[in-house]
């Protein structure tokens, strides 16, 4: 097997790395402190083509594959996990759902401005009963048919990119089965009457990526904004979530790499007994373990991305392993920094907080273990 990247992929990685180090990284700590989303960064990513990386070329995007997407997300997360996660939700969930299930008219209307960075996408799946993880399947939000419209009632929680987003993919029941098997998906634009932005979540990590609750109160939308057929919601949610999951693993790889990078730099300059602590066997072994875990995770993530490109699935193992790697490496980075690692003087405390969030978004570690266990038992 050939594990080398093509020259085109190397050029894309270099371009994103330069952008991330020059434009994203310098203000990452401040945006985390202020819990602030930077719209200008998103628009710049649009100018670079990154916001349309998974949008088909026919609708103005790059039409790239999952591996390219992973390389982009990895480099962004290396500078700022929040920025990487915002792009993941926009591109890997919202744009992907419309690309896979939208009508020609919907794709023309929404994918163009979403792909060039003029409009930001969000994905409203989670509800209160699902707060243990986004792959839960209990829905309470309802969409009632009224002529050529639907009227939505309910509340969505932990909606990533909410408030800043312009286009929302929202799931609601169109039948009586609350386990989401009789649900449908809808495209709702910001500013629609009855679409109310509510509580802002005060999060431990990924604080530069906004998360809000959304209240739907007699929210009337046209039939033309239904995504797919009525009753397709469960299938749309599962396929769009599954097709994008290698992106979460890529974010974890980038974050872990950042934690190791600053740990190496610190270990080379911090001295004990007149020598850099990097020369201590205990520290050297920590760095060796970190590097080994990251390299193994990167390979598993790239393999998952390749499998997604081939058959649309395959990221379960990578997501579980990557989340654990990011958390382990971040904790070790704090340990290497000693007392300073627990302060905001160094970025490792932010990495640790962000790593914990990456273990929980889209699906918790326990949910992924249950899914893998079911797969293993069938083989």
Annotated domain spans of the chain: 7-119, 122-237, 245-378
Q: How far apart are CA 131 and CA 342, in angstroms?
A: 28
Does residue 362 have an active-site annotation?
yes
Fold of 122-237: Butyryl-CoA Dehydrogenase, subunit A; domain 2 (2.40.110)
CATH architecture of 245-378: Up-down Bundle (1.20)
Q: How far apart are CA 63 and CA 61, in angstroms?
A: 6
Of 245, 372, 374, give the one whose Cα is nearest residue 315: 245
Of 228, 136, 236, 235, give the one whose Cα is nearest residue 178: 136
Q: Which 3 state secondary structure label does DSSP give 185? A: strand
Show Cβ contacts of residue 233 under 8 Å, excluding neighbours closer than 6 positions.
Answer: 171, 172, 174, 180, 183, 184, 185
Q: Tokens in use for 16?
A: 């994103």
Q: Tokens in use for 75?
A: 């480099």
Hey, which residues does 24 pair with through a beta bridge? Answer: none
Q: How far apart are CA 156 and CA 126, in angstroms?
A: 6
> Of these residues, 74, 308, 362, 367, which one is catalytic?
362
**Residue 128 CA: distances (Å) to CA of 35, 116, 141, 155:** 23, 33, 10, 8
3.30.2320.20, 3.40.50.20, 3.60.10.10, 1.10.540.10: CATH of 7-119: 1.10.540.10
Q: What is the pLDDT along the chain (379 residues), one digit of tens a residue?
A: 677 889 999 999 999 999 999 999 999 999 999 999 999 999 999 999 999 999 999 999 999 999 999 999 999 999 999 999 999 999 999 999 999 999 999 999 999 999 999 999 999 998 875 544 444 467 899 999 999 999 999 999 999 999 999 999 999 999 776 555 689 999 999 999 999 999 899 999 999 999 999 999 999 999 999 999 999 999 999 888 877 789 999 999 999 999 999 999 999 988 777 778 878 999 999 999 999 999 999 999 999 898 877 765 556 788 889 999 999 999 999 999 999 999 999 999 999 999 999 998 866 667 777 777 776 777 6
In contact, 171 and 187? CB cutoff 8 Å? no
């Amino acid at each position: 097997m050939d594990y080398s990247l093509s020259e085109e992929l190397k050029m894309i990685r270099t371009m994103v790395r330069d952008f991330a180090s020059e434009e994203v990284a310098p203000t990452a700590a401040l945006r985390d402190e202020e819990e602030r989303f930077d719209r200008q960064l998103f628009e710049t990513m649009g100018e670079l083509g990154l916001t349309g990386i998974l949008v088909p070329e026919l609708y103005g995007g790059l039409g790239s594959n999952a591996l390219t997407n992973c390389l982009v997300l990895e480099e962004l997360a290396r500078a700022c996990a929040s920025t990487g996660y915002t792009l993941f939700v926009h591109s890997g969930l919202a744009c992907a759902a419309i690309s896979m299930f939208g009508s020609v008219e919907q794709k023309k209307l929404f994918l163009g401005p979403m792909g060039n960075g003029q409009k930001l996408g969000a994905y409203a799946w989670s509800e209160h009963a699902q707060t243990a993880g986004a792959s839960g399947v209990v829905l309470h939000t309802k969409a009632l048919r009224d002529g050529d419209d639907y009227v939505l009632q309910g509340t969505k929680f932990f909606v990533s990119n909410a408030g800043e987003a312009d286009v929302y993919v929202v799931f609601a029941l169109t039948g009586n089965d609350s386990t989401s098997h009789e649900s449908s998906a809808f495209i709702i634009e910001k500013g629609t009457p009855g679409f109310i932005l509510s509580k802002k979540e005060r999060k431990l990590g990924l604080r530069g990526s906004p998360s809000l609750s959304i209240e739907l109160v007699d929210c009337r939308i046209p039939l033309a904004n239904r995504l797919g057929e009525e009753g397709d919601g469960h299938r749309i949610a599962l396929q769009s979530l599954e097709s994008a999951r290698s992106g979460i693993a890529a974010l974890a790889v980038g974050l872990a790499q950042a934690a190791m990078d600053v740990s190496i730099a610190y270990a080379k300059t911090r001295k004990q007994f007149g020598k850099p602590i990097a020369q201590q066997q205990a520290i050297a072994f920590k760095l060796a373990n970190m590097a080994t875990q990251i390299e193994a995770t990167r390979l598993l993530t790239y393999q998952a991305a390749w499998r997604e490109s081939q058959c649309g699935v395959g990221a379960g193992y990578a997501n579980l392993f990557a989340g654990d790697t990011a958390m382990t490496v971040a904790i070790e980075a704090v340990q290497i920094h000693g007392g300073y690692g627990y302060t905001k003087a160094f970025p490792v405390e932010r990495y640790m907080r962000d790593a914990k969030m990456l273990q929980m978004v889209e699906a918790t570690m326990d949910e992924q273990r249950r899914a893998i266990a079911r797969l293993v038992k069938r083989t």
